A and B are shown apart, each in its own frame.
Chain A
Amino acid sequence: MAPPIVTTHEQPTRKPPLTSKVYDVADFSAAQELFHSNGWTDGLPVVPPTRPAVEACLDWAAMVPEQLLGVEPVREQPITAEKVAINAVMAGCLPMHFPVVATALQAMLQEEYLLHGVTSSTGGCAALIVINGPIRLEIGANATFNALGNSDRATSVIGRAVRLALINLMDVRPGGIDRSTLGHPGKFSYCLAEDEEDTIWEPLSVVRGLPLGASAVTVMAAMAPRQIMNEWTTDPKEILETFAAEMRANQLNYSIYGGNYAIIIPKQLREPIQAAGWKKRDISEFLYERARVRRGDWATVGKGSVVRDRADKIHPALQSPEHLLVIAAGGPAGGFGAVIAPWMGSKTKAVTAAIGACVDCASPKT
């Protein structure tokens, strides 16, 4: 008896092919020399981006190689998933890290982020990437010890992947598009997760309008972190006065103009603030009022020539309380917080985007 004939309408699954040029190199060392000699790195060694590694990233994110993540707005460079995945592999990303990298770049390609300006400016900022939601735990992003430094694999490689993508896909190389006078170490990697498990405050992404439980990234064109320290009070106002003083110092020494600021509040400082019943909104409103300077104070730091006839004009560091990004992160001990200033006032705006969602389908929160 003949076996039954089975028919199916299912088509065999075929992956769309990668289209990037392939270079055959002798070994790992030869790969390093190829990438360094072409200006394809940040100066550190890279993981050779092989076809299987890149395909694994795309598979994890359910993206096809040609998927357009966005278009660089000034020179109209298309940014595809395949090319971003190559740079993510080079940075050391595992497939599970790739959706965060892709979403961060999608957020940076939103008009309000002003990607060309922030990557080409002599001001030398970097993209600060803040991760919220369950994906932090899935990828092992650590939000405690050394939160702004080399805290863990996930945040290190995600931040680096974004930088490599800027270098290779948008020519943001020092002396090329990148005209930074100094830059700062965050240009290697500048990514952290929020410590949502050890705070009663709403996550940053929720404050900025996304639903609780959604994984998200917030990107901000940011200067280097300025650490503050106050271990001698439990009064919320006194603790926050230290943050306000650092913001005012930045206004005088760097840029007087208001924009997004981020502050990192570690456990030792946030516990008394939380115990006093303060929420993130209360912190934002307090700092909105306290972080402001008189234009005339520029004269005290050698900038008297640009005060002109506006000495009494008041410049708030924040255009509104909503411009403050309050982030719970840091090791369990130590009264060390950080103020992260914007690149240049409000010319760029922080963008929050959900991971796995279409950022062009709805207006991101700015």
Chain B
Amino acid sequence: MTIGVLDPSNERHAAQARLAERTVSLRGKTVGFISNGKEGTEGYFKHLDYMLRKQLGVGDVVWRTKSNYSAPAEAEIVDEIKKWHAVVAGVGD
């Protein structure tokens, strides 16, 4: 005789977001940084900014920082993403 046991996982998955179109080249494009604001992000993003501009020809780099490093970015920041060609969400402990 078998035992019937119920699946404890959340079988209903949240609505999936659609991925934005991939950019082929970063040359001349705008890249946004969304930092969680921790100490470790500063050096990381500073160097990445340098690499993107000098080595990959990125046109502009926009820096934004969340007010709460453990919460999603504010709506104003999320709205800005539409203006960028790529975004880097950084975590630095």
Interface residues of A (CB under 8 A from B): 18, 20-28, 30-31, 34-35, 38, 40, 48-51, 54, 72, 74-80, 83, 86-87, 90, 114, 116-118, 120-122, 164, 168-171, 306, 344, 347
Q: Which of B5, B10, B68, B72 contacts A49 (CB 8 A)?
A: B5
Name B8's contact: one of A18, A164, A171, A347 (CB within 8 Å).
A164
A344–B69 Cα distance when bound, in Å, is 11
List the count of A-B residue pairs having beta carbons below 8 Å apart: 96
Residue with the highest number of chain A CB atoms closer than 10 Å, among B3, B4, B6: B6
- Collect the chain A residues with CB atoms within 8 Å of residue B55's CB: none
- Say which residue of B4, B12, B39, B70 sits within 8 Å of A22 (CB atoms): B4
Are A347 and B4 in contact, with the CB atoms below 8 A? no
| B3–A28 touching, CB < 8 Å | yes
Given the contacts A20-B11, A75-B14, A25 and B5 also touching, CB distance less than 8 Å: yes
- CB–CB B72/A22 < 8 A: no
Closest 5 CB pairs of A and B: A117-B70, A21-B7, A24-B2, A20-B6, A76-B14
**Bound state CA distance, A38 and B9, in angstroms?**
10
Q: Is B5 within 8 A of A168, CB to CB?
A: no
Residues of A within 8 A of B13 (CB): 77
Q: In the bound complex, do residue B8 and residue A118 qualify as a contact, i.e. CB atoms below 8 Å apart? A: no
Closest to B4 in A: A22
Known: A76-B14, A78-B10. 6 other contacts (CB 8 A): A24-B2, A40-B9, A50-B3, A80-B12, A117-B71, A169-B8
Contact residues in A for B8 (Cβ distance below 8 Å): 20, 35, 40, 49, 83, 86-87, 90, 164, 168-169
Interface of A is mostly: mixed
**A-contacting residues, B2-54, CB 8 Å:** 2-15, 39
B10 close to A48 (CB less than 8 A): no
Q: B93 interface residue, CB < 8 Å from A?
A: yes
* Bound Cα distance A50, B12 (Å): 20
- Which residues of the other chain, A, contact B9 by a CB distance below 8 angstroms? 38, 40, 83, 168-169
With known contacts A77-B10, A83-B10, A114–B5 Cβ distance under 8 A? no
Most buried by B among A20, A31, A50, A347: A20
**B interface, CB within 8 angstroms of A:** 2-15, 39, 68, 70-72, 93
The answer on a CB contact under 8 Å between B11 and A21 is: yes
Most chain A CB neighbours (cut-off 10 Å) among B2, B10, B15: B10
Knowing A117-B71, A122-B93 are in contact, say whether A21-B6 is a contact too (CB < 8 A). yes
* Contact B15 A76, beta carbon cutoff 8 Å: yes
CB-CB under 8 A for A25 and B6, given A118-B70, A347-B70, A347-B71: no
Asked if A114 and B10 make an inter-chain contact with CB atoms under 8 angstroms apart, the answer reads no
Q: With the chains together, A26 CA to B5 CA distance in Å?
A: 11
A-B contact pairs, 25 of them (CB 8 A): A20-B6, A21-B7, A22-B5, A23-B7, A26-B2, A28-B3, A34-B5, A35-B5, A48-B5, A49-B8, A50-B4, A50-B5, A54-B6, A74-B72, A76-B14, A76-B15, A77-B12, A83-B8, A83-B9, A116-B70, A117-B68, A121-B70, A164-B8, A170-B10, A347-B71
